Structure 1
């Protein structure tokens, strides 16, 4: 038990010591798991403690406060500087490739790390396969290789989404053939414990409910969001988001503790409030919608949607929304008033094939039956993804760097058809609107949307990673940003090791 008579100076030294020698505690504070009060004030306290500790170390070494350990008057060494004082290009530098996995035969369509774990991830492929990857511990040495387990094939077509339960005990996957599978992630064999099949529609997105992972939320090609009870396989409820027969599809989905956010192929963001009864989800109530395409432009389908409980730039929850036309939107969410408003929009050059051919998965004129005849791409021809026969992985599916929204500004990671992985700062503006690549670079050519979006602000490229030999189809971050996973159209998964600066 701590001494109640401890003087404040001793308590401050103990806190400084614990923060300096426990990186896990620092990450937990940043993730709001054990913070008190506002995060801004807590962050300033930690920063002051670190600076005080540096001055104490300099005094103990016999160096003046302006030199010796500090290197230069008023400057801190790079390894001890505050994270906020370093540019994004330094903070998001990488040591290189940690692992390269070439187990899959088809294009990787979805990647997801386990909750609060950086040594476990899963991915799905265009041929319906599900893989689980367990990374070796750091003590195993550099020669240790990841353990890859392929689950029994349950999906007849491309896997559209994979999601982990909050305790990592179950894994959810949904496929284009209208199949939903729940896997026992604790079993080394990764068995399927629940399967649901709806042959009349295609499942385009899916996710566990954040509070109760016995419920799975699925967006369909029929313009509906369906809630399934994974315990018994029964349909809990179905909600028609778009008018029946309109051809509008629910293409992206995410949820918070109180709301479900949906994006459709008409470029509209829908908000549904979760009404609870005896701590169980009773029903979803529509509360609002937000049109995202630019005025005067055709509707752009929503391809990715990610909910962030806090963003330092807006001091509120936000939604990262990616559109097929190359737009990245940061939407400020007010869950108390059930409203959402567009905070900023940036344009990134879309993949050249995606700008020339609109994916049938998000096209208003297509249906699940028309896409069933599309053959998968040849794994030996990376350029085959530029044809109309391989539309499913041309959709822009970026991912937000998890800690960037807490530390500074939102940084977005996405893959392009030029085989590169880009990290961009969406709050910085780049005015390179010429015919070339430019500082806001991304994919290859801009196609027919370049002229229409010439006046739209583009984000600034922070880091470019090159290791793939085929178009990059999916990216995912671990919770502590120590690892970045990127996958391509020939089934290769690359794990990038981020530099440890602190």
Structure 2
């Protein structure tokens, strides 16, 4: 059913000129992000094909009702529409340009007329999409044009500090931008509070402080709609916060009176979240009732320091302070949690962070996990089985022996050769690694903190980067060049 997602992208590209007509930069970013999401979802084998087709039909109706029928479109299904050469998105040209196909076929694609496009799209092109793996090449001219012809290190150069926050009186444990939002960022601290900050338009301000926890807040997460924040604390409680009101909606106490150390919303169902505690327990919870699912509890070996879902929400990974990771299968309908695999990262050394990504760039197409472990290493794993089995691909050197350092994949799909990840470090640096470089993979290093950098996070278009440290400072870094240039 990947062909349906190709049709969805074609539909979005057709209406793209009508979307924010005064902001062509946003339209380019929108199509790139849309392409990334569609490619990720096309890999899932557990989607209903009928629902995909229904989604395509409904989306076509909604776009038509909002923007009208574009001048170059006619009535009928997506598969039967013809396209003029002007209506082909740069993303489509870039995809054709980066196929490994013979020269005669490339020549045929690049010189076909408007009338032949319809025929190719309905027949041979679909077979090409189904049978040929997309592989990056040095000849991908459209990709290089969208990237500005710059290298990874040039695109991750920074112009300096956008703002410095110091509203917390103790270490800031996590910093996260709101989902698909480039201006709001939240922080949690050992001082027992959380803060919500607004960065754009300047000047940057602290919108509100969320107070109620009786001990340090060690983890939090935004809901999909950004209207709720879930936090967990060493006081043994999880709290749901109304962001707009700046108030606590619900307090959920751990049934075993243990410290809560990690939390995560389900990526597709924000009425479900998972928490991990200091007594080696993982529990799926229901937001509406505030209670745990009966079959949604499992035990691991050590304290649960890190949690991560795959993008579909079907697989959950946990990391503990004994150096182990566990994978679980999640049944969203029943809330059942089934343990499947145990992976030893480095026995006796805490696993402090896990991030999952199904596709980083066209050079890093494997579903991957990014893992911090207290052995001075950032580990990149390939997901090799449907039940969460992992294979170590490579490690990157960082300074981490004692602190709960976090790392992240850069959010945008890369339109050049290479793919980047970022991590904090105990040497007070923010580190950037190109996972495609075998030698000297560290492509940039940001200096400015005076304590161990505990967490790092990009906003949705990678125009701003937030980092926090063990002394309570939060730095917002501004990238050089145009926003969303990647």
Q: TM-score, normalised by structure 2?
A: 0.70
Tell me how far apart the structure 2 counterparts of residues 35 and 173 of structure 1 sit (CA, whole Å). 27
Tell me how far apart the structure 1 counterparts of residues 244 and 207 of structure 2 sit (CA, whole Å). 12
1:475 equivalent in alignment to 2:452: no
Q: Which secondary structure state, in structure 2, belongs to the residue aligned with residue 338 of structure 1?
A: coil
Identify the match of residue 405 of structure 2 among 376, 393, 396: 396
2:29 match = 27
Residue 36 of structure 1 deviates from its aligned partner by 6.4
- Indicate how the Cα distance of structure 1 residues 217 and 498 shifts in structure 2: closer, same or farther if over 3 A, else same: same
Identify the match of residue 91 of structure 1 among 155, 163, 168: 155
Residue 324 of structure 1 deviates from its aligned partner by 1.1
1:325 match = 375
1:372 match = none
Residue 91 of structure 1 deviates from its aligned partner by 0.9
1:288 equivalent in alignment to 2:341: yes
Equivalent residues of 1:331, 1:340 under 8 A apart: no
Residue 495 of structure 1 deviates from its aligned partner by 0.7
Q: Which secondary structure state, in structure 2, belongs to the residue aligned with residue 491 of structure 1?
A: coil
Equivalent residues of 1:327, 1:345 under 8 A apart: no
Identify the match of residue 103 of structure 1 among 157, 167, 174: 167
1:313 match = 363
Tell me the matched-pair count. Answer: 380
Tell me how far apart the structure 1 counterparts of residues 38 and 248 of structure 2 sit (CA, whole Å). 41
Identify the match of residue 153 of structure 1 among 211, 215, 227: 211
Tell me how far apart the structure 1 counterparts of residues 248 and 16 of structure 2 sit (CA, whole Å). 47
Tell me how far apart the structure 2 counterparts of residues 218 and 330 of structure 1 sit (CA, whole Å). 24
2:121 match = none
Tell me how far apart the structure 2 counterparts of residues 423 and 314 of structure 1 sit (CA, whole Å). 16
Equivalent residues of 1:219, 1:251 under 8 A apart: yes
1:442 match = none
Give the RMSD, CA atoms, in angstroms: 3.5
Equivalent residues of 1:310, 1:406 under 8 A apart: no
1:273 match = 329
Deviation string for 1:111-138 (max 9, x for gaps)? 111000011111101111110012233x
Q: Which secondary structure state, in structure 2, belongs to the residue aligned with residue 428 of structure 1?
A: coil
Identify the match of residue 425 of structure 1 among 434, 453, 469: 434
1:374 match = none
- Indicate how the Cα distance of structure 1 residues 92 and 274 shifts in structure 2: closer, same or farther if over 3 A, else same: same
1:122 match = 186
1:45 equivalent in alignment to 2:47: no
1:212 equivalent in alignment to 2:269: yes
Tell me how far apart the structure 2 counterparts of residues 499 and 94 of structure 1 sit (CA, whole Å). 5
Tell me how far apart the structure 2 counterparts of residues 14 and 225 of structure 1 sit (CA, whole Å). 45
Equivalent residues of 1:219, 1:225 under 8 A apart: yes
Tell me how far apart the structure 2 counterparts of residues 229 and 16 of structure 1 sit (CA, whole Å). 38
- Indicate how the Cα distance of structure 1 residues 265 and 91 shifts in structure 2: closer, same or farther if over 3 A, else same: same
Q: Which secondary structure state, in structure 2, belongs to the residue aligned with residue 103 of structure 1?
A: coil
- Indicate how the Cα distance of structure 1 residues 233 and 420 shifts in structure 2: closer, same or farther if over 3 A, else same: same
Deviation string for 1:436-470 (max 9, x for gaps)? xxx6xxxxxxxxxxxxxxxxxxxx22111122233
Residue 220 of structure 1 deviates from its aligned partner by 1.1
1:340 equivalent in alignment to 2:368: no
Q: Which secondary structure state, in structure 2, belongs to the residue aligned with residue 31 of structure 1?
A: helix
- Indicate how the Cα distance of structure 1 residues 240 and 26 shifts in structure 2: closer, same or farther if over 3 A, else same: same
Q: Which secondary structure state, in structure 2, belongs to the residue aligned with residue 310 of structure 1?
A: coil
Residue 424 of structure 1 deviates from its aligned partner by 1.8
Residue 15 of structure 1 deviates from its aligned partner by 8.8
Identify the match of residue 183 of structure 1 among 228, 233, 241: 241
Q: Gapped runs of 5+ residues in structure 2?
A: 1-10, 43-88, 98-138
Listed as ranges, the matches of 1:241-260 within 5 Å are 241-242=299-300, 248-256=302-310, 257-260=313-316
Equivalent residues of 1:155, 1:175 under 8 A apart: yes
Tell me how far apart the structure 1 counterparts of residues 406 and 36 of structure 2 sit (CA, whole Å). 31
Q: Gapped runs of 5+ residues in structure 1?
A: 1-10, 50-74, 138-143, 359-393, 431-438, 440-459
Equivalent residues of 1:159, 1:175 under 8 A apart: yes
